[in-house]
Amino acid sequence: SQQGEEDPQALSIQEGENATMNCSYKTSINNLQWYRQNSGRGLVHLILIRSNEREKHSGRLRVTLDTSKKSSSLLITASRAADTASYFCATDDTGFQKLVFGTGTRLLVSP
Amino acid sequence: GAVVSQHPSWVICKSGTSVKIECRSLDFQATTMFWYRQFPKQSLMLMATSNEGSKATYEQGVEKDKFLINHASLTLSTLTVTSAHPEDSSFYICSANGGGSGYEQYFGPGTRLTVT
């Protein structure tokens, strides 16, 4: 399987703290995306970073990409209880939008 | 933004019966849709790529006769789980590319299938 690995598998923090999740993948990619999934629901697209980009910001989200290490990180700053969810990285290595998802990080933000 | 719906949101069926799940793009046309399966507390696994007007492309290990996919229009793809068994119980999610130059996929809310 080409599925990526994410760590930590679970993360528990307090509101206001920052949360960092890491994703490693196995093949060359066209882009890497991060998604959020609330329990029992579909996925929400958060941010996409292309293979020629190193860092991208969107609101409280910061994503980095290191293609030499085949890894990416997602930083959520000043977390809120509403950020509680599972976060998945997904890579597109074919250019045909066939996404390969990482194992996911379950984030719990306590008030 | 692009919205994808799924119907039903949950379904319970008996072993041996077939279940159809619909995936619709509500405000855009999708020539390609994707079907994923997700077990509890696990990641999503791509099952197949649904192409409008042509046969679906299945991932290795996915039985095409078990999971029938029909993409009859630019806004609708269906997944039929045939002769369902308890091990088919899972969360099924579809997605569609929003078109244009973007690579973001828009996901449906998922369908929880329980086979008794």
pLDDT tier at B52, thresholds 50, 70, 90 = confident
Residues of chain A with pLDDT under 50: 1
Our CA-based measurement puts residue B108 at a distance from the nearest CA of chain A, in whole angstroms, of: 6
Query: For position B98, what pLDDT does the model report?
Result: 66
CA B56 to chain centre: 11
Are the C-beta atoms of B93 and A42 separated by less than 8 Å? yes
Chain B residues whose beta carbon lies within 8 Å of the beta carbon of residue A102: 43
Average pLDDT over chain B reads 91
pLDDT confidence bin for B2, thresholds 50/70/90: confident
Q: CA nearest A89: which of A47, A50, A53?
A: A47
Query: Is the pLDDT at B42 greater than 70, yes or no?
Result: yes
Among A99, A100, A102, select the one facing B105 at the smallest CB separation: A99
Å from A89 to nearest chain B CA?
10
Write down the pLDDT at residue A1.
Answer: 46
Q: Is the pLDDT of residue B113 over 50?
A: yes
Question: Measuring CA to CA, how many Å separate A31 from each of A53, A105, B51, B68, B94?
Answer: 9, 20, 22, 30, 20
Across B87-108, average pLDDT: 83
- A66-88 per-position pLDDT tens digit: 999 999 999 999 999 999 999 99
d(CA B112, CA A55): 36
Work out how many CB contacts closer than 8 A connect A with B: 58
